[in-house]
Amino acid sequence: MSIYIDKVIGLSHRYTLKGDTPVILLIVICVLISLGYLNKYNRNEKLVKIDCYIIFSYLCCMSDDAEILLEILHDILGDEKLHYESKGQISFDCPICDEEQHKGNLEVNYFEHVYKCWSCGDENNTKGPLGKLIDNFGNKKQKKIYNLLQPEQHKPKEKRKDILKLPDGFTLFKDSSLVYPVRRQAYSYLTQRGITDNIIEKYGIGFCDKGAFSGRIIIPSYDSKNKLNYFIARSWDPNSRAKYKNPESSKDEIIFFENTINWNDDIHLCEGAFDAIFLPNSIAMLGKHMSDLLLNTLYEKANGNIIICLDSDAWNDGVKLFHNLNGGRLYGKVKIIKLTGDADVADLRGDISDYFYTMK
């Protein structure tokens, strides 16, 4: 730990913050973050290095807020399409609807801190304050950095949270007629993916035949008190422009399938709900990155092994997650699988026994 802080102090002689503010302020931030994480995660220094380095790199090595924001946007959204620097306007491929068509329909104004996809903004609510974009698609380090940069007038106001409800038109399969055409379409989609009646019943999977989520499979999630905390809505139409349409609730503030988890048994970590339903005692992270809430809860409650089961294209993300978790009271309890080709856990129907990888 002391060696790492010495390195940060050594770098500080070469940089100053904006307005020639002494970099010692940044060093203090790094030290405070370090002490906080060491105390919180039983002195797991791997977590400390990530936050300190990321914050130092972004804030010291960039000349102004706009440059930092652009770096974050490129990290999240990839290569830009058009960029009007005088207006602070830049466009990217939409991560929701583009599907490798490279149309550049998602535009960001980093002067005004707003964004919108001109193709699916109204349908999928891919529009609003820039912080929302980073919350939905960025990782926790990028969110922390943006929170440091975000102008006060663009910070979200505290508001009362609406109680999450299942969408209008939601129906359990057991409550619908076997000959109802919409049910037959939805059920056919699930059976083609190897999802059995037992899985459907266990997770309370249903479908919508009207409303904003019509034509979608619904996989609900409940918290430890059996209150709905999120749901996944997946279209069964192969021609749908948006495969997924999820609620406005923040996925970083919930643990998916929390009410089904036995913290004393081995826990599987998956990217999506359609992977998690094939594995016992599993949590869907709803992406490649883990929320602070889930990370904290695993450190506090997990007593068995933790098995990381990400898709083959997320191997590097899985390795990072392995190192973040494998410390303190969890040291030696973290396992990882390495999938090959394009198959994911759902494609394998949960048979991952041949894919365990020994980290060195």
pLDDT in tens, 46-70: 444 445 545 555 445 444 678 888 9
| Token pair 């130092």: residue | 56
Asked if the model's pLDDT at residue 160 lies above 50, the reply is: yes
Work out the number of other CB atoms within 10 angstroms of the CB of residue 114. 17
**Regarding predicted confidence, which is higher, 3 or 204?**
204
Please give the pLDDT value at position 11: 40
Domains of the chain and CATH, by start:
2-61 (no CATH), 65-153 (3.90.580), 166-249 (3.90.980.10), 250-360 (3.40.1360.10)
Under the banding of pLDDT at 50, 70 and 90, the label for residue 6 is: very low
The 3-state secondary structure of 61-120 reads HCCCHHHHHHHHHHHHHCCCCCEECCCCEEEECCCCCCCCCCCCCEEEECCCCEEEECCC
Nearest to 290 by CA among 313, 277, 309: 309
Least confident of 29-33, 80-84, 121-125, 305-309: 29-33
**How far is 189 from 212, CA to CA, in rounded Å?**
20
Query: How far apart, in whole angstroms, are the C-alpha atoms of residue 360 and residue 350?
Result: 25
| Digit-coded pLDDT (tens) for 260-297 | 999 999 999 999 999 999 999 999 999 999 999 999 99
Mean pLDDT of 28-39: 52
Q: What is the DSSP letter of 207?
A: E
What number is the average pLDDT over the span 314-318?
A: 95
Q: Is the dihedral of CA 276, 281, 286, 288 positive or negative?
A: negative
Q: Quick check: 356 pLDDT over 80?
A: yes
Band of pLDDT at residue 123, cut at 50, 70 and 90: confident
Average pLDDT for residues 171-175, to the nearest whole number? Answer: 97
Name, of 66-75, 133-142, 196-205, the range with top average pLDDT: 196-205
pLDDT of residue 100: 85
Place of tokens 């005692």: 281
pLDDT tens for 219-249 read 999 999 999 999 999 999 999 988 999 898 8
Whether pTM exceeds 0.75: no
Closest listed residue to residue 284, CA positions, set 299, 296, 267? 267
**Residue 55 to residue 77: CA distance in whole angstroms:** 20
